Amino acid sequence: MNRSQPLDHLEHLDKELVEELAQVARVTVREELREQTRKQRRTAVLYGASGAAALYAGGAIAVAVGLALAIGLPGWAAALITGALMAAVAYALRASAHSSSSEHHPHPPHRVVGGTPPVAPPGGLGMPYPPIPKNPPETPADLDDPRR
């Protein structure tokens, strides 16, 4: 019984230490997240400003092309040609965005460090596609066919 009494006051110290460590950890994590958020917000603002500047630059180029075409054509024809050119540029950009997004799908590793690659994908869904049967499936019409 004598030994348990000195440990009782240490239990109180342990609780205070744990609470103090938890408070320090919370403050540290909060400050780190605040710093990361500040950096990400600045990056997002810069991307937005870049997009706005690019939009105005594209508009200025479209006006310049329209005015250049208006030298030899009526204004409506120059505007129509400029609009068609801008639509073609938009379509080309959209097509390149679709092709680049399909290229970013994860590829299986060419080399696995420390062993062989898994048989199934890591999602646990089995094979990535069903196996191809050797013979085509039979239908009721195939069974009634007298040539068999």
Q: What is the pLDDT of residue 139?
A: 76
The pLDDT of 25-48, averaged and rounded, is 87
**What are the domain boundaries of the chain?**
10-99
Q: Is the pLDDT confidence value at 123 over 70?
A: no
* DSSP letters for 81-124: HHHHHHHHHHHHHHHHHHHHHHHTSPPPPSS-TTSPPPSS-TTS
